[in-house]
Structure 1
Amino acid sequence: MNVKDLLRAHPFWLEHFESRDGVDLVLPADLPAALLRLAVPHEDINQVIAARPEPGGPLWWLAERCVHSLVSTMGSLDSPPMFPELPELGPYFYVYVYLAALPHTRRYHRELGIPEEVSWATFTDLGRNMAVHRKRHGTGGLHAPYWFMLHARGLLYELGRLQFNRGRFGGTAVEGAPVGPGDLVLDVHVPDFHGPLTPEACDESFERARRFFPRHFPQEDYRVMTCASWLLDEQLAGYLPAGSNIVAFQRRFQPLDRFEHSDVLSFVFGGDAADPARLPRRTRLERAVADHLAAGGTWYGRQGWLSF
């Protein structure tokens, strides 16, 4: 494979990577143990090991530059370009990029005094998103490989049931809202495969975030937390009980922008969303989503805010 030929179809990326010398890749000596600690699904372990890039080869060259892109922007709110999703690289290429970046991220965490348990809880999102890939596609791979850039660059942290990442507000200005474009915000994320979204678990996560970020990032004055998700679509309240976890979660937030969220079927149904006309109705949530679509409705995402 000639990686540079592949990237010529993406000239922006070719220029970005060719301008970097790369970081020497150091991979764990015990790959199976390292992968298991990152919660990589057992059924993926052998395939990941078999896909290890060859030192000095074209994928090695690209991986070195991907790692440099992460390390050179460690902790910065100014993001490098998102990693491209290129099937030609194979389903596990970016797993090795993040394995090689992990020691750099761990060092950054230690310098900030971030507890080990928070670091490792955050890093296991790598394995979780491999499970999400299999849930959605039925095959091995890493879902949305650019997503873990937030973790590897020291921006995102898992604090109990929820994840929070340091960032700037990217929505539009809304009259009366205490946040505008470019303002510091903590983005709230709800990871999959992490148990019920109970009010108690969310309360604990929000309280942890309110202690965690002033302690470890005292130079950043966060006043608002934001969330952009299909979970905040107010139409759900018309289908779900008033006491449901989802309705309780969305009521925490004051609404901002609404946007089309075509991925709601993948979030709710995974691979079963392949035929929207035959969606299963095994749970109350599945029935709500499927019935709304069958009646000609549209699901949206919503961005919302709450005070830090």
Structure 2
Amino acid sequence: MASKQSATAPAPAHDEMARRTVNALVRIAHTDEWTTGLSVHYYLMYALLDGDGVRMDYAPLDWIDQWRRRWMAAREADDQSAVAAEKDYLHEQMLAALHGEPGVQRHLWERLPGWEVAARRTLTASYVRKSLGLGEEFRAWTEALEAAAKHYHWYGAPGIHEGAALITLMEELKIPREDHADIAAAADAVTHVDSPWLWLLERTLWLIRSRMGNSLSVPVGPVMYEHGLEGWWFYVVAFLAATPYVRDFHRSIEVPEETSAAGLGVLGEKIALYRKGSEYGGLIQHDFVMGAFCGRIYRLEQLDCVAWNDGVDVYVPHTAHPLTTVPDQAWADRVHAFLRRLPREYGKGVQWEQGAFTISVNSWLLDPALNDHLPEDHELRRFIEGFTSSRRGPDRCPAQDQRGLTGGDREAIQYAFGRYVLDLDDALSLTAETALQHAALAHLRAGHHWIQPTAGLRFLGLGVVG
């Protein structure tokens, strides 16, 4: 086998398979997977013998063990010229084995994906950051992914739709059409077998899958503005890859299809919100979307409900127009009854007989100042009057970010105008047409800022706790 050489140039498909096989094998060669159990070593032999499980005469393949010893020695000595030479030698041997041998091609192709997954397991967070040019701000995120993955044994290359199927999926998730081409290009790049992005994607997808329905947080990295389409759209690609698993999870706990679609559609809504304000695509609230894809956030009767062990946090999405939901006790009962279908943790340890379970609504709409700007017959009066607002802190003027806006200011603009704004000047440049838009801007133009009070509805849980 070692002396068999092709008399002609290798076919492109053979050369690509040989290259990928070599790239995987040189990363696995120094690990226990090479020799433990039904190992890489065994299946490599099996493939090169054309899958002949009866004959299994290893003698002609002694060169594999000899190559591995030379490779390990060169690697340990940090002899880069010898390392390169041994890699080239293995590539030549793979080409020779593939030439004119359909059985070898078939068996190598069957094993190659598994070898590539095993090879990616050998990468470290430090290597991935260095390869992708990710700075120190990404250390905690990448190391959290690395640490979490060490405790699990499931790995698999993320399957993601392609072509027309991908376009259909993006349309289902309400992603603006203007962004489809860039997202498709990012998906292709992120899922390339040789890309360190795939290391990040596999671990992110696994954590989404493993934590569906419970309140364990999933490590979420910073927005990767300066790292090409792959960085800009990384989390969108992850959410697209996770969508089939989220839908399966929803079906398993009997979430109605319309509720499932509304929750998954949060992805497209956030992208559209940013696009309307910035005129280009992006996702800057991927941490919130992560909650929806992990099965802990559901859009119930217009409002986004975040389920925790001892309560529910409720947010008013910018799409809730007109806002007709009245968050009264009957509404709280319905929210609780829905979330009880979560498989674990929701309501764990709650002292139901003491009425210790609270549904908390957090929104700029609860700022008492809004009443000063809305007409008495405005639709939001019914929503506002259902609460006795309690501020998060004693300060009437909450902290502003570096752009001169508070969280309440941003929420007010997003809700009233359905768009993202960069800074205070950007917000003040908007043109108000509706009563609510006039209210949102009048408060800012008067030199004030919107707060986000929290008001709670205590849930007694009578008759519904199993």
Match of 2:442 in 1: 291
Q: For 1:189, which of 315, 319, 340 is the aligned residue?
A: 315
- C-alpha separation between the residues in 2 aligned to 1:26 and 1:218? 27
Match of 1:158 in 2: 299
Matched, 1:138 2:138: no
Distance 1:28 1:202, change over 3 A: farther
Instruction: Tell me the CA shift for residue 207 of structure 1.
Output: 6.1
Q: More strand per residue: 1 or 2?
A: 1
Counterpart contact for 2:158–2:191, Cα < 8 Å: no
Distance 1:118 1:206, change over 3 A: same
Q: For 1:34, which of 151, 161, 169 is the aligned residue?
A: 169
Counterpart contact for 1:161–1:202, Cα < 8 Å: no
Unaligned ranges ≥5, structure 2: 1-126, 351-356, 399-404, 460-466
Counterpart contact for 1:162–1:205, Cα < 8 Å: no
One-letter code aligned to 1:41 = P
Counterpart contact for 1:102–1:152, Cα < 8 Å: yes
15-24 vs 42-51, which moves further: 15-24
Match of 2:362 in 1: 228
Matched, 1:149 2:290: yes
Counterpart contact for 1:162–1:202, Cα < 8 Å: no
- Percent of paired sites with the same residue: 29
Match of 1:174 in 2: none
Counterpart contact for 1:159–1:205, Cα < 8 Å: no
Match of 1:78 in 2: 216
- C-alpha separation between the residues in 2 aligned to 1:201 and 1:226? 10
1:1-308 to structure 2, matched below 5 A, reads 3-5=128-130, 6-19=134-147, 20=149, 23-29=156-162, 30-52=165-187, 53-56=190-193, 57-87=195-225, 88=227, 89-167=230-308, 184-199=310-325, 208-216=334-342, 220-221=346-347, 223-258=357-392, 260=398, 262-263=406-407, 264-265=409-410, 266-267=413-414, 268-269=416-417, 270=419, 274-308=425-459
253-262 vs 67-76, which moves further: 253-262
Structure number with the bigger relative contact order (C-alpha 8 A, sep ≥ 6) is 1
Distance 1:12 1:90, change over 3 A: closer
Query: C-alpha offsets along residues 80-117 of structure 1, whole Å, 9 cap, x if unaligned?
Result: 33332121243322111011122222232222222223
One-letter code aligned to 1:12 = A
Matched residues, number = 292
Secondary structure (helix, strand or coil) at the match of 1:96 reads helix
Secondary structure (helix, strand or coil) at the match of 1:100 reads helix
**Structure 2 length normalisation: TM-score?**
0.57
Secondary structure (helix, strand or coil) at the match of 1:256 reads coil
Match of 1:171 in 2: none
Distance 1:13 1:7, change over 3 A: farther
Q: More helix per residue: 1 or 2?
A: 2
30-39 vs 100-109, which moves further: 100-109
Unaligned ranges ≥5, structure 1: 169-183
Secondary structure (helix, strand or coil) at the match of 2:213 reads coil
- C-alpha separation between the residues in 2 aligned to 1:91 and 1:203? 42
Query: Highest Rg: 1 or 2?
Result: 2
Counterpart contact for 1:63–1:97, Cα < 8 Å: yes
Secondary structure (helix, strand or coil) at the match of 2:157 reads coil
- C-alpha separation between the residues in 2 aligned to 1:299 and 1:96? 34
